[in-house]
Amino acid sequence: MRKSNRLFQILNHPSMKSITALFAFFILLMFAILVAERGNNSKITSFFDAFWYTIVTVTTIGYGDITPATTAGRIIAVVIMLGGVVSFGAVSGKIASVLVERQQKRNRGFAQLKKKRDHLVLCGWKPEMESIIAGILASNPDMTPSDIVLVTGAPKAVLFPVLSNR
C-alpha cells in the first residue's frame, strides 16, 4: 500500500475526525477567551497568553496565574474546563477499551490469528467433533492441529485434549 493511501486512511478514520474537531473546538475557545479578556485583563493580552490559559485549564492543572476577569471570559472558562474533563475522560476510556479488547482477544486465542495462513476454521462444537477433527487430520497428512482454528463456546477442558493428542 502506498504511503499516501495509508495517510489518507489514517486521516479519514472516525477517531481522527473526532480529534481534529476537538482540536478545532479548543482553538476556537482559545480565540474566544482572547477576545473576551483582551483589554479587560492585564494577564491575557496575546495569543500565547490565551494558549497558555487554555492548555492549563483543559489539562485541569489550573496554576491560578491567569484567571478570567469578565463574565464572558468566565463562561468560556467553564466550557474549557468541562471540555477538558470530557476530553480526557473520552481518551482514557478509549485507551482502556482498546487494552481490554486486546487482552480479551489474547485470552480467547484470537491475537495469534492475525498472521495465520493456510488454516481451517471450524465453527461450533458437538460431541463427535473429536472424531471429525481426527478424520480431517488423517485425510490431510500435511495439516497439524495448529492449522485448525476452532470458533466455539466449548469449555477449554473439552478442547485441549482433542487437539493436544495429535
3-state secondary structure of 90: helix
Range with the poorest average pLDDT among 8-12, 40-44, 67-71, 139-143: 8-12
CATH of residue 88's domain is: 1.10.287.70
Q: What is the pLDDT of residues 89-129, one digit of tens each?
A: 988 998 898 889 888 877 766 666 666 677 888 888 787 88
Q: What is the pLDDT of residues 13-33, one digit of tens each?
A: 777 888 888 899 999 999 999
Distances in Å between the alpha carbon of 3 and those of 6, 10, 13, 88, 114? 5, 11, 15, 30, 22
* Higher per-residue confidence, 11 vs 67: 67
Are residues 88 and 25 part of one domain? yes
- pLDDT value at residue 50: 94
Contact 33/44 with Cβ under 8 angstroms? yes
What is the tally of structural domains in the chain?
2
Are residues 90 and 9 part of one domain? yes
* Domain extent at residue 128: 116-164
Are residues 89 and 19 part of one domain? yes
- pLDDT value at residue 133: 84
Contact 66/53 with Cβ under 8 angstroms? yes
Are residues 57 and 14 part of one domain? yes
pTM above 0.85, yes or no: no
Residue 15: CA count within 13 A, CB half-sphere? 8
Q: What is the pLDDT of residues 58-89, one digit of tens each?
A: 988 888 889 999 999 999 999 999 999 999 89
The CA dihedral of 121, 123, 128, 133, to the nearest 10 degrees, is: 10
Are residues 104 and 33 part of one domain? yes
Of 89, 108, 127, which closes a domain? Answer: 108
Q: How far apart are CA 111 and CA 104, in angstroms?
A: 9
Selection from 68, 72, 150 nearest residue 112 by Cα: 150
Q: What is the pLDDT of residues 31-57, one digit of tens each?
A: 999 999 999 999 999 999 999 999 999
Distances in Å between the alpha carbon of 118 and those of 43, 55, 106, 113, 125? 66, 52, 21, 11, 21
Are residues 141 and 101 part of one domain? no
Cell of 160: 485441549
User: Across the chain, where does the E strand assignment appear?
Assistant: 120-123, 148-151
